[in-house]
Structure 1
Amino acid sequence: MIHRLADTGLLVELDDLAAVLRLDAAVRAAQDEGRGGFPESAEFAAFSEVIDVLPAARTLMLTVPAGSDLGRLEHALTSLDVDALVDDDDEADDRVVEIPVIYDGPDLEEVASLTGLSAAEVVEAHTQTPWRSAFGGFAPGFFYLVEGDPRLEVPRRSEPRTAVPDGAVALAGTFSAVYPRTSPGGWQLIGHTEEAMWDSDRTDPALLSPGVLVRFVDAGVRREFARGRRHRTAGPGAGHGASGSGAPGRRTLGCR
């Protein structure tokens, strides 16, 4: 179903997020075709006026300048051959954003109970399967992440918090996300990160964007690894160019 948004856009209702993401990819491909200016691209000309495409969980919004021919765009949208424009065999966006997390969230044990996993298994599930950024919303820099470990599907809290701190790493339904700023929220909090999800001083203020892969890294494990490495390299002979066997030019490293 397609709804008109005054005279500046269309809102398409779809069955699920997968359908939204497919149509989003098709519209963006049609935009590129329409802006190419080639005769064979005439059927995509209406999409050349689209200035913003915004996916959500079950809707896709297309924004155009005031005065645009919405009727032409609506007809082009209903006639769009999504399967011809979106190849399921195409390589997915290969950009990866790594986010270190301290898994100390107040709801970690609750999530473990809800999923039937131990707290350690929750952390492992959250870090071992990469997530994909699907769409943004709620607040600048807040992105809904999908395609994680299906065992981590949990309900929102029965009572939302009045203030969730910025950097909180959370789960709700089939999604994961990082709160970019302190705000009310009802997601299950499993940890926190010091990464700035939104920084207006950056060229790209948002750390994430639709389509990128997100890998969460257990920063607690990383710190323990680094601490152990420092401890091992501080043993006898460290820094003196010799191993315990006295062989010249070698030193013992705990691991690489």
Structure 2
Amino acid sequence: MRLRRCGADSVLVELGSLGEVAAARAVLAGLPGLVDLVPAARTVLATFSGGVPRGVEDALRAADLSAVPAPAGETVVLPTVYDGPDLELAATTANLSPDEVVALHTGAEYTVAFTGFAPGFGYLTGLPAPLRQARLASPRTKVPAGAVGVAGEFTGVYPRPSPGGWRLLGRLADGAPPLFDPEREPPALLAPGHRVRFEAV
């Protein structure tokens, strides 16, 4: 673990794994004066009101950062149509049938590790090992909003049309809640620590 000051009010905590990030985020969330937490794959940026309080490093070093906290809140269920252009590729790579890929993807419960890339995009951990596959060799120039994909240890949903290289297994069904709505409070449906499950329709 390494701490780097970022101005007078923020500190960047560098860690070794997603699990340590989740544990450190839980520790930082309990400190006085916290106004914002931004986790990423190996870091957490904590911003405080009135300066970084004393004892931040001591609190982190005293905690068991190997103990990943339980996901928070209710499970967000995302109805999904599994007709993606890379479903067959994912099945072939995993030596499974497309139906087995769908069963694996819907049978797991995921946790939002962090958000980024685009507003509302959550990097979800908990992907079954056979579905942990490489990105496409050539990214698509445009992935439609609602596309459900896998890449490496993550699964996720594209909140809006954008380029992307994840293997696409399907898409959110009509009527699924938008991942990002600036008129909603909060605008993002998914936040770090939330639980997520995909449901085939």
TM value normalised by structure 1: 0.71
Which residue of structure 2 aligns with residue 102 of structure 1? 81
Which residue of structure 2 aligns with residue 7 of structure 1? 8
Greater relative contact order (Cα < 8 A, sep 6+): 2
Choose the corresponding residue for 2:58, options 63, 79, 82.
79
- SS of structure 1 residue aligned to 2:137: coil
Letter aligned with residue 95 of structure 2 = G
Which residue of structure 2 aligns with residue 57 of structure 1? 41
Letter aligned with residue 12 of structure 1 = V
Which residue of structure 2 aligns with residue 138 of structure 1? 117
Q: Does the aligned pair in 1 maintain the 2:142–2:163 contact within 8 Å? A: yes
Distance in 2, matches of 1:201 and 1:54, equals 22
Matches within 5 A, 1:85-96: 92-96=71-75
The answer for unaligned runs of 5 or more in structure 1 is 32-47, 220-256
Distance in 2, matches of 1:3 and 1:184, equals 33
More helix by share: 1
Choose the corresponding residue for 2:153, options 149, 174, 187.
174
Query: 1:50/1:91 Cα in 2 relative to 1: closer, same or farther (>3 Å)?
Result: closer
Matches within 5 A, 1:168-247: 168-193=147-172, 194=174, 195=176, 196-219=178-201
Moved more, 181-190 or 5-14: 5-14
Number of residues paired by the alignment? 195
More strand by share: 2
Query: 1:89/1:179 Cα in 2 relative to 1: closer, same or farther (>3 Å)?
Result: closer
Letter aligned with residue 51 of structure 1 = V
The answer for unaligned runs of 5 or more in structure 2 is none
Distance in 2, matches of 1:63 and 1:163, equals 35
Instruction: State which structure, 1 or 2, has the greater radius of gyration over its C-alpha atoms.
Output: 1
Quote the offset at 1:209 in angstroms.
1.7
- SS of structure 2 residue aligned to 1:95: strand
Letter aligned with residue 155 of structure 1 = A
Indicate the RMSD between aligned Cα atoms, in angstroms: 2.0
Distance in 2, matches of 1:87 and 1:115, equals 30
